[in-house]
Amino acid sequence: MKTRSIALVVMLALIAIGASLFAYQSADAKGPKPKPIDFTLTNTDDKKVKLADYRGKVVVIDVWATWCGYCVRETPDLIAVQEEATKNKQKLQLIGISVDEDKEAVKEFVEKHGVNYPILYAEKDAMKQLGEVYGYPTKFILNEKGVIVDTIVGAVDKATLKKRLAKYLK
Q: How many structural domains comprise the chain?
A: 2
Q: Residues 26, 64: one domain?
A: no
Whole-number Å distance between alpha carbons of 101 and 163: 33
Q: Which CATH number covers residue 57?
A: 3.40.30.10
pLDDT of residue 170: 81
Q: Residues 90, 22: one domain?
A: no
Q: Residues 6, 54: one domain?
A: no
CB neighbour list of residue 44: distance below 8 Å, 6 or more residues apart: 103, 106, 107, 110, 119, 121
pLDDT by residue, tens only, the chain of 170 residues: 555 555 444 443 434 444 443 333 333 446 667 889 999 999 999 999 999 999 999 999 999 999 999 999 999 999 999 999 999 999 999 999 999 999 999 999 999 999 999 999 999 989 999 998 999 999 999 999 999 999 999 999 999 999 999 999 98
Q: Residues 48, 120: one domain?
A: yes
Q: Residues 154, 128: one domain?
A: yes
Q: Residues 63, 15: one domain?
A: no
pLDDT of residue 32: 67
pLDDT of residue 79: 98
Domain that holds residue 18: 1-31
